Structure 1
Amino acid sequence: MATHLIKNCRTSALSHFLGLSSGAHGVRALSTSVVRDVNVTTKSKKTLSKNGRKNIVLVEGVRTPFLMSGTDYKDLMPHDLARAAMQGLIDKTNLPRDAVDHIIYGNVIQEVKTSNIAREAALGAGFSNKIPCHTVTLACISSNVAITSGMGMIMTDQGDSFIAGGVEFMSDVPIRHSRQMRKFMLTQNRAKTTGAKLSLAAKHLSLKALAPELPAVAEFSTNETMGHSGDRLAAAFNISRIEQDEFSMRSHSLADKASKAGYLDDRLTYQVPGTTKIVDNDNGIRVSSMEQMAKLRPAFIRPHGTVTAANASFLTDGASACLVMTENKAKEMGYKPKAYLRDFVYVAQDPKDQLLLGPAYGTPKVLEKAGLSLSDIDVFEYHEAFAGQILANMKALDSDWFSQTYMGRQKKTGAPSMDKLNLWGGSLSIGHPFAATGVRLAMTAANRLEREGGQYALLAACAAGGHGHAMVLEKYPS
């Protein structure tokens, strides 16, 4: 079966990519010591401010430490983490609890007791009960949607300040009874006599009915797990296991250096409720060696796959929150924003063969919308679902054939320079709580602009369903 999947992938239209050298965007020659310092003079470029459009700014953002599921957060509930992120944002900005117009929060794996988790977390953090709150979901770009939904509300005069964020809690995902068991349990409520109840039990219950429905990170339309898609994509783009492991090692090494240098300062120090445990680091950052990584077996397509636990993002618990305002409102409240939030796009494509290629489709579109070229961008922050996924996106962006065949463009956009990409690590190392990652990407992009002296940042991410998101940020002037 595994061999069949890879063979089919290699003989699809994407197999034309096999003509590209596997090292075209490999990471063998990459330095893992690129962590740029502060106080670099900002380049002088045009501003993306547009007449008739309000300037929207990212004031500040925070996140809980991102932890591997089943570790220090395992006894909490998701709204505990969301509340902590909102409370941390209040503490960092001295934001009055009645000073925002709306709160929008992303969440993917929903806890049924707190279906509108935005509201529950906001009330728990002490925000005014007069502030409307709503929850959004679009897989791994859910907090991206939270941010851009708020931007849309600002542009339509629904307010001038809002909080956006996201939370994911994989330590306690809902596990359902089988459909047959659910039917039995619901019909039991209507049975009036013991005989009727026994009759229903005889009709509905079986050993098969007793088996629970376990959750999986899988596409409903294709019934394929994201890991399988990552493996197939890496095979189609001829990305080797060594390249994937090297990129993953780069991510962990850069995240480790950035963390120790104090650059990940959007990360809160958090005391786990009900314990004396203080959490101040992301516990998935682990600098390994190529020899150690090579020992791991394929995680999804065995024995021929190349995606392993070492070169894939891991199930993560965590939450994020950011404060977004009009520039005028931020000035009125005495804030010094981090960055302007400029143009953005959402894209979608085939969820079978191109599930994880959102950044490749989104990047040229957002550059075109902003009137920029790839060389204008100083900072790139791309979501790392799998090492093979991000390297596939690099190859797609750097291919005239792919751009012409699938995007309808005359020529390639080009791939970001690795000297500008994810220099503080990424989702492979820091972690990926699905709905919280978008805010982390935005904050890392803004903070890197400040430290590296750049003017424009581009963030991009893939998501389930074949979706993708890309956005341009502009550094706020000193």
Structure 2
Amino acid sequence: MGHSADRLAAAFGVSRLEQDEFALRSHSLAKKAQDAGLLSDVISFKVPGRDMVSKDNGIRPSSMDQLAKLKPAFIKPHGTVTAANSSFLTDGASAVLIMSEDKALAMGYKPKAYLRDFVYVSQDPKDQLLLGPTYGTPKVLERAGLKMNDIDVFEFHEAFAGQIMANMKAMDSDWFAQNYMGKNAKVGAPPMEKFNLWGGSLSLGHPFGATGCRLVTTVAQRLQKEGGQYGVVAACAAGGQGHAMVIEAYPQ
């Protein structure tokens, strides 16, 4: 994954500076959200032989100077992916309850959001392993009858800062859309003022098998807090797969 992120960043001209800036953004936004009580849906867990963990503890806002000191982690010495601009190794679990609206109401539950549509996509695992969001997002929007500017909340999995920035550049490229996706024009990149505003996998961690639930519940929480109607989740996955999903806020 790390080697793929480095190759992808090089292919799309994503600089080390851009990656470090995005990583710092993720940690800073996560710290701000945590301090504001927006990341409080964490169940405390006693680590055997260690302390009680009651909040995400990988959030580490630093400085650009500190980030610049780290050496490439995968392609040495000229790579741009480092430990700081990658999602860190972490443990964790997550859960989300999905059922029909009728069943939820009959059982006395107040739904948080609707799952409106989802897609799985696949692409070249050698050179496009981490471009799942680029392929999945326009497809799920088309299925749901929505445009990019209809979306209020975006939550994309931050495997690596280089992966996120490469997806942004691919989504904002007419050339890429025409040559690789069979489309006449680009779908456009998500606006940063709507994107991963409570931090992302770079700062919150990426426990395998848990991140999907975390992305979905974050969208539901953000739609409630921010008063939006539609959210999009997107993620890359091993083997050149990708996933995208449309979530709609449940009426207050």
Alignment of 1:366 with 2:140, yes or no, is yes
Q: Does the alignment pair 1:321 with 2:95?
A: yes
1:357 aligns with 2:131: yes
Gaps of 5+ in 2: none
Instruction: Find the counterpart in structure 2 of residue 442 from structure 1.
Output: 216
Counterparts of 2:126 and 2:67 in 1: how far apart (Å)?
Answer: 28
State the AA in 2 paired with 1:308. T
In 2: Cα distance, 1:275 partner to 1:388 partner: 36
- 1:271 deviation in Å? 2.5
Let me know the Cα RMSD of the aligned residues: 0.9
* Cα offset, 1:328, TM superposition: 0.5
Quick check: which has more Rg, 1 or 2?
A: 1
CA offset at residue 385 of structure 1? 0.4
Give the alignment partner of residue 62 of structure 2, picking from 272, 282, 288.
Answer: 288
CA separation in 2, counterparts of 1:234 and 1:384? 14
Structure 1: tracts of 5 or more residues without a match: 1-225
Listed one character per residue, the Cα deviations across residues 372-428 of structure 1 (whole Å, up to 9, x for unaligned) are: 000000000000000010010001100000001010001000010000000000000
Partners of 2:152 and 2:114 in 1: CA distance: 15
Query: In the alignment, does 2:40 pair up with 1:248?
Result: no
Amino acid at match of 1:401: W
Letter in 1 for 2:19: Q
SS of the residue corresponding to residue 167 of structure 2 reads: helix
Q: Which residue of 2 aligns with 1:416?
A: 190
Map of 1:11 onto structure 2: none
Q: 1:227 matched to which residue of 2?
A: 2
Q: How do residues 72-87 of structure 1 correspond to structure 2 at under 5 angstroms?
A: none
Q: TM-score, normalised by structure 1?
A: 0.52
1:402 maps to 176
CA distance in 2, matches of 1:228, 1:276: 33
In structure 2, which of residues 79, 85, 94 is the aligned counterpart of residue 311 of structure 1? 85
In 2, the alpha carbon distance for the partners of 1:311 and 1:345 equals 28
What secondary structure, in the 3-state scheme, does the structure 2 residue paired with 1:419 have?
helix
Q: Higher relative CO (CA 8 A, sep ≥ 6), structure 1 or 2?
A: 2
Give me the identity figure in percent.
73
SS of residue in 2 equivalent to 1:322: coil
Cα offset, 1:281, TM superposition: 1.7
Report Cα offsets for 1:403-460 as digits up to 9, x if no partner: 0101000100001000000000000000000110000000000000000000000000
SS of residue matched to 1:324: coil
State the 1:265 CA deviation.
2.6
Structure 2 SS opposite 1:231: helix
Which aligned segments of 4 or more residues in structure 1 are displaced greater than 3 angstroms? none
Tell me, what secondary structure is at the counterpart of 1:472?
strand
| Residue 276 of structure 1, CA deviation | 7.1
TM-score, normalization by structure 2: 0.98
Deviation at 1:334, TM superposition (A): 1.1
